[in-house]
């Protein structure tokens, strides 16, 4: 039977600019199948991935909506006209959207009551009028994604799980190591060597077995961020590097989701909420990343163990306030915490109307390469790409044992020298330029630091200063401890 | 498809979209954009809006953050367009107390080719206006430059 299918204007570009196509079909469903066989590009606009007609695609046979007939099984007669008619929908507040792809069946249904066990568990919330049953149900129905399960992620995960946030997502690709335990309080000594997401999941589900904990053992990237974020209501940034902060910010702005931001360094912390309607974003505060290497990471600069506990707890509080709709959020305010002075200060943050991300005329409309944007290949990449001559710990040991005349230069800080040393001559990297005269360029020098990164810079600097017989100890004291002398502690 | 897409609209019509957004606040407003595409050199197309066809938001369940236009409304808008020798080239809607950028919901429900103008209305005051087009592969909404033109007197 010959049926004419009318193609709506927005789809004509995928159908050779035609207004209609003639197909042979016995039902409306067949007519549409024939049409998409002729014009393959139409398929994804008409049908979902599992082959269902999209909700906003209406189909009429002559002037009757097939929904009121036999839907796609509606029979066709010779000369019938099948019209595809758009219905148009949209709207703000994407936090209310649930993706059918990841929430099959009834899983999307909202909880409307608490069990007796839950009532007991949350009784200190329930007796507060500001939370009450309504607030507790909001917590239960909320979905929060934690980026990072380390220093900030630990108190965040613990408090949000304990408070009854119904669905927690954990993103981390790292494994627990001994240096984490000084501040990442959701892990125990037994967890060393385990993936952080798995260790956190086990701790949090023990704390609160009633909630869903979803783990994503992966690095957050421009490729996966939107997909990971889309099913969550609130994103909490507990990361420690600039590329990921920009990535989290941009993905939140693109999806219209709040970003509860926290950062820590040594004795200081910062907290705010980005991505709120009319509020500023991370790029309004920091339009450009700092030059690579200028701001040291926790691994390089250190962090006092309690600090992430305080900052992460404030982030947890802000997250819960957003869910409850209670109080005043930190939107537009940057809270600064100085642990040494034990002072909180507050800076006003304004939305930058010229912001390329959230301003009046955004120029960034998709995720970019954030490592390139921040000028680093990755947070593990050395700040400088200098290639310098190296010596392995084993070769150094052999040569020292042989009695070769080698001058060992330690470019770490004095307090690091106290932890352990290779009996070298100590000149911290920062003092090297004005203390070069202490070195004898006619002698063979081996420079080292903790990991080999700072000493590579020292070797590069000294080579430029005319030193020719200088080598970098590959892998630093860490490698020395692994390969030569395990009695030297790693830190 | 719409690499350097450009949308021309008179400041008068842009003003009407803003006022419609303010009138409907705190609910979302919506309407059709009537106009035509003109092909210029290098197969580049520019799109001009000549008239609006304001519509009633059919979402009575949550009109403050959703809008919906039924297929009947679409057919009427198309009829109106044809009567004026124009085409429905897109849709506008407001985001009350929300930035003028497409939500995931907007993208999931978008049609290609159409221009989607979004006006942000903060506390009854219309603010930013942006326009978007869905990428061919449905993965992305691309920002379309709006060129405001002074209405011919």
List the catalytic residue out of A284, A298, A355, A358.
A298
Q: Find where tokens 């932890």 sit.
A: A419
Count Cβ–Cβ pairs < 8 Å, chain A vs chain B. Answer: 133
Residue in B67, B71, B113 nearest the CB of A13: B113
Within 39-98 of B, beta carbons closer than 8 Å to A belong to 59, 62, 65-71, 73-75, 87-89, 91, 93, 95-98
Contact A287, A355 (CB under 8 A): yes
Q: Find where tokens 């020719």 sit.
A: A468
Nearest-by-CA chain B residue for A56:
B109
Rounded to a whole number, what is the distance in Å from the CA of B20 to chain A's nearest CA? 15
Residues in chain B: 153
Query: How far from A50 is each of A46, A53, A54, A377, CA to CA, in Å?
Result: 11, 9, 10, 38
Q: CA angle, A249 as apex, A243 and A252 as ends, to 5°?
A: 135
**Strand (E) or helix (H) holding A373:** helix A370-373
Task: Mark A35-56 as b/e (b = at least 16 C-beta within 10 Å).
Answer: bbeebeebbbbbbeeeeebbeb
Alpha carbons within 13 angstroms on the beta-carbon side of residue A193 total 2
B112 touching A, CB under 8 A? yes
List the catalytic residue out of A281, A284, A374, A449.
A449
Chosen for mutation from B30, B108, B115, B121 (greatest number of chain A CBs closer than 10 Å) is B108
Q: Report the distance separating Cα A412 and Cα A470, nearest Å.
A: 17
Distance of alpha carbon A406 from its chain centroid, rounded? Answer: 46
Contact state of B104 with A96 under an 8 Å Cβ cutoff:
no
DSSP track, A9-45: HHHHTTTTT-SEEEEE-SBHHHHHHHHHHH-GGGHHH
Does A298 participate in catalysis according to the annotation? yes
Does A449 participate in catalysis according to the annotation? yes
The mean pLDDT value for B55-79 works out to: 76
Give residues with Cβ within 8 angstroms of A107, minimum separation 6: none
Provide the whole-model pTM: 0.52
Q: Report the distance separating Cα A220 and Cα A172, nearest Å.
A: 8
Nearest-by-CA chain B residue for A65:
B71
Which residue, A468, A466, A444, A470, is CA-closest to A455? Answer: A470
Per-residue pLDDT of B12-25, as tens digits, reads 999 999 999 999 88
**In chain B, what are the helix, strand and coil shares in percent, each to the nearest 5?**
25, 45, 35
Rounded to a whole number, what is the distance in Å from the CA of B90 to chain A's nearest CA? 9
Query: How far from A141 is each of A110, A113, A120, A134, A383, CA to CA, in Å?
Result: 6, 11, 18, 11, 43
Residue in A44, A91, A96 nearest the CB of B67: A91
Neighbours of A110 (CB within 10 A): 10
Per-residue pLDDT of B88-146, as tens digits, reads 999 999 988 888 888 777 877 888 889 999 999 888 888 889 999 888 888 788 888 88
Contact state of A90 with B106 under an 8 Å Cβ cutoff:
yes
Q: Report the distance separating Cα B125 and Cα B6, nearest Å.
A: 26
Tell me the chain A residues in contact with residue B60 when contact means C-beta distances shorter than 8 Å.
Answer: none
Q: Find where tokens 């507050």 sit.
A: A346
DSSP-based three-state secondary structure for A87: coil
| Range list of β-strands (E), A51-178 | 57-61, 64-65, 81-86, 88-90, 143-147, 167-171
Give residues with Cβ within 8 angstroms of A145, minimum separation 6: A168, A169, A171, A228, A229, A232, A234, A235, A236
Query: What letter would DSSP give residue A321?
Result: H
Contact state of B68 with A230 under an 8 Å Cβ cutoff:
no
- Whether cis (ω within 30° of 0) applies to the bond prior to B44 is no
Q: Report the distance separating Cα A246 and Cα B118, nearest Å.
A: 25
Contact A391, A406 (CB under 8 A): no
Which residue, A451, A452, A472, is CA-closest to A462? Answer: A472
Per-residue pLDDT of chain A (491 residues; tens, 9 = 90+): 799 998 888 888 888 888 899 999 999 999 999 999 999 888 888 888 878 888 778 888 887 888 778 888 999 999 999 988 887 777 664 333 233 233 333 334 578 888 989 999 999 999 998 899 999 999 999 999 999 999 999 999 999 999 999 999 999 999 999 999 999 999 999 999 999 999 999 999 999 999 999 999 999 999 999 999 999 999 999 998 888 999 999 999 999 999 999 998 888 899 999 999 889 999 998 887 776 655 556 566 678 899 999 999 999 999 999 999 989 999 999 999 999 999 999 888 888 888 999 988 888 888 988 888 877 644 344 444 568 899 999 999 999 999 999 999 999 988 889 889 999 999 999 888 888 888 988 899 999 999 998 999 899 889 888 888 999 999 999 999 999 999 999 88
Tell me the chain A residues in contact with residue B113 when contact means C-beta distances shorter than 8 Å.
Answer: 9-13
Q: Which stretches of chain A sit within 8 Å of chain B by CB?
A: 8-14, 41, 44-45, 55-56, 58, 60, 65, 85-94, 96-97, 230, 253-256, 277-278, 358, 360-363, 365-366
Contact state of A14 with B142 under an 8 Å Cβ cutoff:
no
Contact state of A92 with B96 under an 8 Å Cβ cutoff:
yes
């Amino acid at each position: 039977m010959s049926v004419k299918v009318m193609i709506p204007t927005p789809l004509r570009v995928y159908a050779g600019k035609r207004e209609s196509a003639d197909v042979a079909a016995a039902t409306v469903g067949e007519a549409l199948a024939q049409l998409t066989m002729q014009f393959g590009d139409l398929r994804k606009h008409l049908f979902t991935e599992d082959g269902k007609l999209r909700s906003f695609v209406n189909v009429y046979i002559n002037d009757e909506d097939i929904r009121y007939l036999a839907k796609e099984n509606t029979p066709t007669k010779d000369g019938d006209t099948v019209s595809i008619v758009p219905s148009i929908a949209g709207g703000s507040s994407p936090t209310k959207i649930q993706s059918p792809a990841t929430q099959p069946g009834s899983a999307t249904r909202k909880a409307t009551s608490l069990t007796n066990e839950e009532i007991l568990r949350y009784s200190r919330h329930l007796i507060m009028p500001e939370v009450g049953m309504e607030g507790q149900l909001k917590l239960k129905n909320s979905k929060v994604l934690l980026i990072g399960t380390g220093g900030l992620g630990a108190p965040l995960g613990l408090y949000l799980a304990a408070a009854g946030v119904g669905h927690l997502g954990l993103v981390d690709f790292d494994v627990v190591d001994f240096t984490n335990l000084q501040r990442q309080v959701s892990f125990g000594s037994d967890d060393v060597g385990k993936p952080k997401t798995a260790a956190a999941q086990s701790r949090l589900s023990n704390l609160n077995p009633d909630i869903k904990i979803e783990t994503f053992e992966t690095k957050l990237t421009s490729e996966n961020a939107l997909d990971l974020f889309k099913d969550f209501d609130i994103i909490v940034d507990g990361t420690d590097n600039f590329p990921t902060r920009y990535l989290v910010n941009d993905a939140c702005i693109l999806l219209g989701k709040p970003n509860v931001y926290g950062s820590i360094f040594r004795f200081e912390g910062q907290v705010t909420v980005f991505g709120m309607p009319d509020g500023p974003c991370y790029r309004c505060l920091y339009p450009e990343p700092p030059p690579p290497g200028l701001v040291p990471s926790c691994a390089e600069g250190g962090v006092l163990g309690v600090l992430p506990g305080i900052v992460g707890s404030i982030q947890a509080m802000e997250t819960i306030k957003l869910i409850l709709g209670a109080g005043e959020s930190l939107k537009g305010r940057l809270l600064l915490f100085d642990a040494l002075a034990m002072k909180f200060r507050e800076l006003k943050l304004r939305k930058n109307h010229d912001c390329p991300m959230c301003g009046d005329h955004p120029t960034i409309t998709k995720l970019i390469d954030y490592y390139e944007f921040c000028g680093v290949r990755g947070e593990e990449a050395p700040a400088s790409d200098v290639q310098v001559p190296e010596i392995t710990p084993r070769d150094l040991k052999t040569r020292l044992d042989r009695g070769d005349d080698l001058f060992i230069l330690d470019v770490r800080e004095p307090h690091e020298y106290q932890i352990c040393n290779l009996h070298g001559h100590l000149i911290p990297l920062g003092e090297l330029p004005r203390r070069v005269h202490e070195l004898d360029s006619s002698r063979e020098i081996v420079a080292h630091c903790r990991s080999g990164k700072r000493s590579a810079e020292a070797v590069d600097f000294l080579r430029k200063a005319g030193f020719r017989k200088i080598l970098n100890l590959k892998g630093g004291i860490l490698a020395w401890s692994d390969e030569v002398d395990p009695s030297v502690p790693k830190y | 498809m719409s690499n350097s897409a450009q949308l021309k609209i008179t400041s008068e019509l842009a003003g009407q979209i803003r006022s419609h957004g303010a009138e409907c606040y705190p609910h979302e407003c919506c309407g059709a954009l009537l106009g035509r595409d003109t092909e210029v050199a290098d197969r580049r197309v520019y799109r001009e809006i000549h008239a609006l066809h304001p519509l009633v938001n059919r979402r009575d369940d949550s009109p403050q953050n959703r809008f919906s236009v039924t297929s009947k409304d679409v057919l009427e808008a198309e009829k109106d367009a044809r009567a004026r020798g124009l085409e429905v080239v897109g849709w506008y809607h407001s985001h009350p107390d929300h930035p003028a950028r497409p939500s995931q919901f907007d993208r999931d429900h978008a049609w290609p080719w159409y221009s989607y103008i979004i006006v942000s209305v903060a506390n009854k005051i219309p603010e930013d206006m942006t326009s978007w087009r869905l990428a061919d592969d449905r993965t992305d909404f691309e920002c379309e430059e709006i060129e405001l033109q002074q209405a011919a007197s």
